[in-house]
């Protein structure tokens, strides 16, 4: 014990204070060592080019129904409780934490000291204790890496305990739905992950905590978005749900990537990356479609739930295990990145949607009220084949483009965004990367080269002085001209053969927006409510048809 008291490193590395006893703990191992251990223990294998591939077992994605927040004095009046944010009592949390520490005691475990939030002012230290070596390698990839001098006297602000092998034996007795769980305790600053080896639970757990702490305590808007910065120091932000092109469109050879998934917007008007890596889908991955991601799959990266060909190469087309095949890699696997991962001067925000109904304009400019409304709505559409039972387009709404990770009421984030965009003079644009000329199955997907031309024109200021016209149903402002884009597609009604069919479909989608917004309306300002579609019943629009 004498050694412990006199040695600052040993003192900060005392695991008994968490209730962990007799562990064989490996601290801050290199990715190479963790990969070697994973292979030696038969927990993974290497691809033809030496990249680690693992199988996450029963869970190949997050389990949103098994995500909880401890409901106590600090959270009870702040969190938006409901289907997304389910409460758990402090007593049940304590029982589960005790059980997890008992389970991990006596085992070989892996500890990582790292941090999140690239802006030094908001830096948050995180200690992660994992049962599996490759879970620890994942945190090396995804959190920001502390240097040696920072590790000497490291003290965590948050603790993550990850035990995929532990399942609650009597879930109902401790307030759970089933044996697996992901729980945040904001008072104790502890995150528990049990019963699931899906690494996204670690990432999304700690980033969900930031989505609460940053706005409540630090006046920082957290955003589920990608961001890049141009040579002139102008930052662009890209919001969008899966399949809308967020990663693809933010990867621009003429601009540096700040990050591809989670950012904060500070009171000082800076944009900073939460994380130190990327966690990308790899289903149907090819060098032609996603060159940056494809080239990042190399030693140091971790592939999850992929299928191999006979020669040891990955068959990215094979979804036998899951559609949600993934790769995590440190951000330095991408060449064109901003170092460190933050920048100032946000100038343009893009909301990306893949409208499978073919009615939204390919590009439109939003007023502050419209921006807040569409931010709260978080619209895209699921197309046939993306999920079991979906045979035609279905509207999909995820508040703030990241509802499963947002502990506060969506209007709180929307009001912060609206104020920040007005204070900073930021332009907000809605970009439809979906269909034109008719819905999915009739029309065709808007060409990526046209979407890139629209974004480039906006970033270069080429739409600053063009004329706009207002959409008759959605009230959005559509440019009449955009360099590199055929003028006839800028107003989506022009691309449909039957104008009456277009208006009917547009009104039906507008109605879906209104129905979805009803659950937020009571908390929303008049300006936000008025930012929605102009029409919500089957008006005759003969003058537009």
Q: Which residue has the tokens 């709180």?
A: 412
Length of the chain: 545
Give dist(CA 520, CA 476) in Å, integer. Answer: 21
For residue 402, how far is the Cα from the chain centroid? 6
Give dist(CA 279, CA 269) in Å, integer. Answer: 26
User: Cα-flanking dihedrals φ and ψ of residue 235, to 5°?
Assistant: -95, 140
Grouping H, G, I as helix, E, B as strand and the rest as coil, residue 468 is: strand
Give every CB contact of residue 86 below 8 A, 6+ residues apart in sequence.
Answer: 67, 68, 69
Give the 3-state secondary structure percentages of the chain, helix then strand then coil, rounded to 5: 30, 25, 45
User: Cα-flanking dihedrals φ and ψ of residue 302, to 5°?
Assistant: -130, 120
Give dist(CA 172, CA 253) in Å, integer. Answer: 52
Alpha helices in 230-282 (DSSP H): 246-250
CB 356 within 8 A of CB 435: yes
Give dist(CA 68, CA 56) in Å, integer. Answer: 21
Peptide bond into 340 cis (omega under 30): yes
Q: Just list the catalytic residues.
A: 62, 204, 224, 242, 246-247, 261, 326
Give dist(CA 300, CA 46) in Å, integer. Answer: 11
Give dist(CA 111, CA 203) in Å, integer. Answer: 15
């Amino acid at each position: 014990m004498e050694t412990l008291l006199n040695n600052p490193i040993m003192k900060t590395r005392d695991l008994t204070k968490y209730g962990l006893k007799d562990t064989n703990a490996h601290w801050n191992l290199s990715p190479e060592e963790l990969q070697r251990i994973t292979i030696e223990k038969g927990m993974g294998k290497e691809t033809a080019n030496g990249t680690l591939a693992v199988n996450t077992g029963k869970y190949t994605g997050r389990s949103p129904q098994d995500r909880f927040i401890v409901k106590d004095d600090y959270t009870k009046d702040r969190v938006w409780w409901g289907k997304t944010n389910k409460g758990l009592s402090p007593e049940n949390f304590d029982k589960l934490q005790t059980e997890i520490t008992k389970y991990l005691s006596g085992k070989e475990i892996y500890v990582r000291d790292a941090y999140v939030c690239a802006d030094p002012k908001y830096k948050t230290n995180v200690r992660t204790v994992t049962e599996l070596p490759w879970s620890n390698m994942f945190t090396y990839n995804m959190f920001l890496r502390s240097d040696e001098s920072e590790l000497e006297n490291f003290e965590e602000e948050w603790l993550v305990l990850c035990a995929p092998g532990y399942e609650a034996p009597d879930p109902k007795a401790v307030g759970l739905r089933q044996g697996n769980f992901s729980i945040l305790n904001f008072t104790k600053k502890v995150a528990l992950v049990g019963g699931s080896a899906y690494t996204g639970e670690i990432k999304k757990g700690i980033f969900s905590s930031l989505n609460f702490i940053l706005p409540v305590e630090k006046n920082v808007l957290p955003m589920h978005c990608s961001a890049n910065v141009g040579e002139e120091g102008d930052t662009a932000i890209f919001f969008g749900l899966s399949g809308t092109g967020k990663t693809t469109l933010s990867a621009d050879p003429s601009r540096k990537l700040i990050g591809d998934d989670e950012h904060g917007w500070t009171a000082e008007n800076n944009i900073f990356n939460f994380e130190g890596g990327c966690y990308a889908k790899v289903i149907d991955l090819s060098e032609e479609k996603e060159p940056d991601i494809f080239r990042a799959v190399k030693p140091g990266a971790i592939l999850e739930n992929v299928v191999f060909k006979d020669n040891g190469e990955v068959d990215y087309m094979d979804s036998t295990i899951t559609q949600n095949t993934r790769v995590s890699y440190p951000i330095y696997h991408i060449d064109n990145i901003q170092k460190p991962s933050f920048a100032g001067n946000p100038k343009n925000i893009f909301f990306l949607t893949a409208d499978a109904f073919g009615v939204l304009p390919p590009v439109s400019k939003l007023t502050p009220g419209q921006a807040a409304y569409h931010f709260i709505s978080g619209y895209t559409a699921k197309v046939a084949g993306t999920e079991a039972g979906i045979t035609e387009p279905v509207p999909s709404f995820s508040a703030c483009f990241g509802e499963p990770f947002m502990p506060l009421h969506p209007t709180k984030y929307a009001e912060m965004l609206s104020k920040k965009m007005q204070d900073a003079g930021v332009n907000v644009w809605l970009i439809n990367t979906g269909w034109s000329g008719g819905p999915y199955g009739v029309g065709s997907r808007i060409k990526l080269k046209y979407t890139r031309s629209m974004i480039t024109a906006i970033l270069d200021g080429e739409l600053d002085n063009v004329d706009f016209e207002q959409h008759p149903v959605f009230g959005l402002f559509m440019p009449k001209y955009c360099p590199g884009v055929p003028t006839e597609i800028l107003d989506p009604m022009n691309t449909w053969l039957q104008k009456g069919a277009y208006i009917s479909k547009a009104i039906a989608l507008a109605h879906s927006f209104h129905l979805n917004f009803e659950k937020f309306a009571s908390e929303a300002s008049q300006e936000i409510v008025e930012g929605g579609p102009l029409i919500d019943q089957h008006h005759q629009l003969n003058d537009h048809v």
